[in-house]
Structure 1
Amino acid sequence: MEKAFRNLIKSRFPYLGGKKLLLAVSGGVDSIALAYLCKNAKLDFSIAHCNFNLRGEESDADEDFVIELADELEVEIFTQNFDTEAFAEEARISIQMAARELRYNWFDELSRTLGFDYVLLAHHANDNLETFLINMVRGTGLEGLSGIHAEKETLIRPLLDFSRKEIENYAEQNQIKWREDSSNSSTKYLRNKIRHEIVPALEELNPQLLQGFKQTQSYLKESEALVEDYMSLIYPKAIQKNQFGYELDINFLKKIPNTKAVLYQLLKTFGFTEWNDVYNLLEAQPGKMVFSEEYRLVKDRGKLLLTEINHPEDKLYQIAEGEEMVMLPMGRIAFAEVDKIEKDQEYSRIFVDARKLQFPLTVRKWQVGDFFCPFGMKGRKKISDFFKDKKMSLPEKENTWLLCSGENIVWVIGHRADDRYKVTSETAKILKISCSF
């Protein structure tokens, strides 16, 4: 196995030579074997060990064992203790997810602060098969079936081509000791149930299961690459960035084949799960919405609008008299006395009769029932009707702010001033109010 490992490093991971590597070692046979393989391949590495404090004295014994290993191999070691259960409870995630997040966050911190180029992980071919089966059981797209990546940014998994049996044989033949995690024998966890019950049953049906899986996975990766190439051509035509998020062209999406699959590829990173509902938006009435935990997809005439979910915002900002400039969520608002009105029309500024203003002015989001008197028009108009006349999308409405004097609206910022505050022949003091978005 040592020869195969060295050849693999030379052919697939030649860039690891001479780099500063961090090797994650739990104490199990896979990571212990990887440590010896890296040492014999003369790679420059240090060891990182996580003690998740989940198995009492057994966890502490694992830590002591890995420290002794580092001393034997004459490499630097870093250890970290985590209160995994407390973190999982606080974050409201499973113990397994908590351990994963704590582990990778620590590896990233070590890499940034101490200058490690790559982190080596000891996942092997059986781990890859188990991950495939887990994703298949839970439901996933093509990327979930393509398995664990051997290379992902700075994370490198050089043992993915080797089976658990090959690794155990290597350790036994070289009289390498390792630690057995007692929790690995429990089938209460999905991965362990698949490892101890499902995979052996599949191997009975096909003794060459791993080899067949590797071939299947190779085809899946090629298909995934093909989809990515196709989507790189579709993406700029189907989706555009705007000031509130993204907009998808419905007419374009309807014309291309496999529209539902394309929608999945475009939106999969935004957490949507109800893909039939997403697809049905194409024919829905304007205003129909589909939600993920953090995003919202809205049907708006010929577009689907993708925005982050706006949480209720009741903030009100005050502007004192004499302020020349204030920084607010929508941008910078500036005030300046001027001698005359600039005639060219700009929606980013208004001119008002300063003596009609009641300070402090307030800036807030619009509310149902708000009305104003649009500049140049007689009578008043509901803000909601004003939005409707301008054919504003829901995200545009939600991100519109009002400048108010007392209970009255002075300016629908960036859109229209109120006629009651306009400059007349009797105005003695003209105030220019502008907003830079």
Structure 2
Amino acid sequence: MTRQTATARTAGATSARAAATEVLLANWRGDHTVPAAGLYPHQWSWDSAFIAFGLRHVSPRRARLELETLLGAQWTDGRLPQIVFDPAKGAEYSPGPSFWRSSEIPGSSPVASTAGFVQPAVHAWAALAVHESDPSGSDRARFLERAYPRLVAWHAYLAERRDRGGRGLISIVHPWEPGTDNSPLWDTVLATVPDTPRDPFDRPDLAHAGDGERPSDRDYGRYYWLAERYRDHDCDDHDDAYPFLVEDPLSNALLARSELALADIAGHIGADPAPHRARAADLTAALDQLWHDDLGIHTAADTRTGELVPVATVNGLVPLVLPGIRHADRLVETLTGPGFLGSGARLVPSTAVTADAYDPRLYWRGPAWFNTSWLVAEGTCVQGRPDIADGLRRAIVDLAAPGDHPEYVGPADGTPHGTRRFSWTAALALDVLHGRRS
């Protein structure tokens, strides 16, 4: 590398850091960061975890507060809600606080209006990373000591209330819960759900994305029907007739990864790490039930029947983050094969390009997302393939700022889609720029 090239790269990295930092500062709301100022005006659960990974490089204190605000909205049963609503912005997102009426639900957060669903458990992993960015400040604030019991309760909720199939795997109860909203993984079970909710629904998302980029009104009808059913049963996870129960590889892998982080947190504060390591090992082993050998990837299963969904998606690649996951070599082959990076994709397609359901513009049915590509990069490092991780990390940086930190991109050409100035895109680009490694 010539001195001129090195200087140009340094200048480019400096500019990219400044751009990403500006997005996070603009989306900061005093005690949390909104995912995007227009479309997403509240605090989202797994968004805040991903945001904390990057925000810690700007202000460890704010990163701690980001997670503490979310943890402070915890329900008495231990769940961390999908959304913590800003009362001043209630009418700007649907379904909002007037839909959920969480204050009427027994055991809901006593301090905040929230949704009743949850999102993947990335929070302990994020909390550990935030601590490690500023150990002395974290220790002075007793950050880990205060976060640990809440994180333990959160994981216990998932393990005790969401193992609906009795197979040692947690189930999702709505397509919004794993964050991959309209993935083809949910199609078969979702087809059994009515698309006729009682409540009328708005589509503010359509003002922030082009034609053909968002789920259909019929999909949203089913989403709302499920949300009504869950809400009207007081978000009770023991509703035997509830029609949507799916075991998702992404949600289970991230819970296992966060159990490993909880073990490290326990070690920091003088608690016993052994139970967390044991639970991580049990979850890692249980994920083998979601292995689809013909596709060479983990996939989702209908919780009631155990039947696997024969579709390859990015959800099934996320178990790479787990040391000791079976079929790791085969999973790396799938990642680098024609369905994913072998297709010429720069970031990981959300649905394999070889799948019948693939659409490069339609939300989680093809476009690439920065958070899942970041997770896969972390996973390939765990599996001893830093070469793959380096390529994905370069693409994260190269595609973030030029597209004004888009929500998602075309996997091959990097064309930005969705809303812009998206917080986790900026945060994870910033994390890569600061040289994070697993």
Normalised-by-shorter TM-score class? under 0.3
Query: Taking CA–CA contacts closer than 8 Å with sequence separation of 6 or more, which of the two structures ends up with the larger relative contact order?
Result: 2
More helix by share: 2
Q: Which has the larger radius of gyration?
A: 1
TM-score by length of 2: 0.21
